[in-house]
Structure 1
Amino acid sequence: MSGSAITPWVVGNWKMNPMQADAKALVNGFKELLQNNEIKEENCHLGVAPSMLALAGIQQELASAVRSVYSVAQDVSRIAGTGAYTGEVSAELLKDHQIDFVLIGHSERREIFGETASILNEKVKNALNAGLTIIYCVGESLEQRENGQAEQVVLQQICDIASVVQAEQWQKIVIAYEPIWAIGTGKTASPEDAQAMHAKIREGLTQITSFGSSIAILYGGSVKAENAVELAACPDINGALVGGASLNAESFYKIAQAFANTK
C-alpha cells in the first residue's frame, strides 16, 4: 500500500554537533532560506534535533521562523517523571518545555550505548504516556543484510514496541528506516532497495495497527541534496531523517524542498 498521501517529514539529526555559534548561524541560515522561498507546512513537516544542551535555545530561535520547525529531542530517559537520576531528562520534563517530539531507537543508541529492546520499550512507553510523538528508528547491519536477514530484523524491531503502544497511540509514531551500514558512511541504499524495505515496513505496520497505512516512514542513511529527489519519488518513502547534511542550511533546505515537491 502506498504512503504517497502522507505529508512528508524532513528532520535534521545534529547528533553531538555543532558548537553554539555554529548552531545559531545554522538556524538563522535555514530561517532565511525559508523566508525567501517558503516550504508550505501542508507540503512538508520540518524538524531539527539538536543536542539536549541546545534544545531549548534552538527552540527559541526557531520560534521566529516563517513557519513551524519542530524541535526534536535526540533521546529520552527510560525513567518517568522527576527524581534523583543524575544526567537524565524524562519525557515529562521534555513536555514541560514544550518539546513534543523525540527520537528513540537510533542505531547509535542501540550499538554504542547498548540500548536493548526492553530499554527502548520503557522509553517508548514513557514518551507516549507524556504525550510526545516518537520518531522510532529501525535498521539492519551490513552483515544482517548480506545474510538475507534485513527484513526480519527491521520488522522485529517494530514488533518489539507493539506490546507497549496502545491502539490509538500508533498515531503518535513515525518510523525512520536507517540501514546501519549507510549511516555516516557516504553509502546510501539504492532508491529501489530503500523503497522495497519501506514497502515491507508498510505491510508490517498494516498488520499491527489500523493506522498502518497513515504512519510516515522516513529514510535515513547518508541522505543529501544530491539523492533527495530520487528518494522522494519513491511512493513509500515519506521523508528523511538527515544526519550530516542537516548541518548545512542549504543542503538541509534542498532536501526538504525535494520532499515538499512530491506533494
Structure 2
Amino acid sequence: MSGAAITPWVVGNWKMNPLRADAKQLVEELKQLLQNQNIEESKCHIGVAPIALALQSVQAQFSDSSRNICVVAQDLSRIAGTGAYTGEISAELLKDSEIDYVLIGHSERREVLGDSPAVINEKVKHALSAGLTVIYCVGESLEQREKGLAEQTVLQQICDIAAVVKAEQWRQIVIAYEPIWAIGTGKTASPEDAQAMHAKLREGLSQITPAGRSMAILYGGSVKPENAVELAACPDINGALVGGASLNAESFYQIAQAFANTK
C-alpha cells in the first residue's frame, strides 16, 4: 500500500524538556499557528509527547485548539493496574487520565535506561490491553548498520512484540523507525535509505499481519523542516517522530505541514 492511502502522523517527542513556562508558551504558539492556517486532521494526525508531569496540563491547554492534538505519554510501567509500585505509571492510569497514546521502545529507553525486549513486551501488552495506541520505536545502531545488520535488527524488534500482540491489536500500533545514529546528531538517513528500510518494515509487517499494509510507519532521527518534504515524498514514510525540532513551534508546524501537503 502506498503512503498516499495512509493518513500521516507527526509526533513531537519533547523528551526531558522543557520547563513549565516554556512548555506553556510552546503549546500556545503551536495553537496560534494552527489557528492561522489549520492542518486538516484528515491530512495529518498531530501529537506531542511531554514529560509525565505535564501530560494533563498540556492536554487541558490543547482543549480549545482549532483541531485535535494527540497527547502522548513518553513511557509507561511494565506493571499493570495499581499497587505498591513507587514511581510507576501504568497503562490503566494513563487511560483513566484520558491519555490514549504512548511511546514504547525508544532507543533511549533501550540503550540508556535498560529496557530489555522482555520489559518492552510487558509494556506493549499492558498498553494494548488498556486500549492505548502504541507508537512502537525500532532502530539500529551505527555499528549494526556498518556490519550489514540494520534490516535484521529492526525486523527482529518487530518480531519481538509479535508474541504479545493479538491479531486485532495490530491496528492500535504505529511504528516509528529511528536509526539510533541519527537521533539528536544532526545526521539523517538519506531519503533513499529511509525509504528502503520503511519498505522492508512494511514487507515484514505484512507477513505478520494483514494490518501491515495499512499501518503508519514514521521516520525519526534529526527530522527538521529542511528535510521533511523529501522524507514525506517517500511512499512508505507515513510521518515523523520529531525530537529537537518539536521544541520549536514553527519548525514542528512546518514538518506537519510538509507531510499534510505531500501525502
TM-score interval, normalised by the smaller of the two chains: over 0.9
Runs of at least 4 residues off by over 3 Å? none
Task: List gaps (5 residues or longer) in structure 2.
Answer: none
Equivalence for 1:9: 9
The number of residues matched between the two structures is 263
Q: TM-score, normalized by length of structure 1?
A: 0.99
2:178 and 2:147 map into 1 onto residues whose CA distance is 18
Equivalence for 1:230: 230
The answer as to whether partners of 1:3 and 1:213 remain within 8 angstroms in 2 is: no
1:128 aligns with 2:128: yes
Q: Which amino acid aligns with 2:141?
A: S
1:141 aligns with 2:135: no
Equivalence for 2:107: 107
Q: Which amino acid aligns with 2:77?
A: S
* Alignment deviations for residues 64-96 of structure 1 (CA, whole Å, 9 cap, x no partner): 110000000000000000001000000000000
The answer as to whether partners of 1:109 and 1:115 remain within 8 angstroms in 2 is: yes
Q: Which amino acid aligns with 1:8?
A: P
1:133 and 1:82 map into 2 onto residues whose CA distance is 20
2:62 and 2:89 map into 1 onto residues whose CA distance is 21
Q: TM-score, normalized by length of structure 2?
A: 0.99
Q: Which amino acid aligns with 1:144?
A: Q
1:25 aligns with 2:62: no
The answer as to whether partners of 1:72 and 1:100 remain within 8 angstroms in 2 is: yes
Equivalence for 1:119: 119
Equivalence for 2:72: 72
1:192 and 1:66 map into 2 onto residues whose CA distance is 35
Q: CA deviation at 1:59?
A: 0.5
Equivalence for 2:180: 180
Q: CA deviation at 1:262?
A: 1.8
* Alignment deviations for residues 4-23 of structure 1 (CA, whole Å, 9 cap, x no partner): 31000000000000000000
Q: CA deviation at 1:53?
A: 0.6
Query: Larger % of helix: which?
Result: 2
> In structure 1, the residue corresponding to 2:212 is in which secondary structure?
coil
Give 1:139-178 correspondences, 5 Å limit.
Answer: 139-178=139-178
1:88 aligns with 2:88: yes
Kindly report the root-mean-square deviation, in angstroms, between the aligned alpha carbons of the 2 structures: 0.5
1:199 and 1:3 map into 2 onto residues whose CA distance is 10
> In structure 2, the residue corresponding to 1:200 is in which secondary structure?
helix
* Alignment deviations for residues 8-51 of structure 1 (CA, whole Å, 9 cap, x no partner): 00000000000000000000000000000000000000000000
Task: List gaps (5 residues or longer) in structure 1.
Answer: none
Equivalence for 1:246: 246
Equivalence for 1:48: 48
1:168 and 1:238 map into 2 onto residues whose CA distance is 21
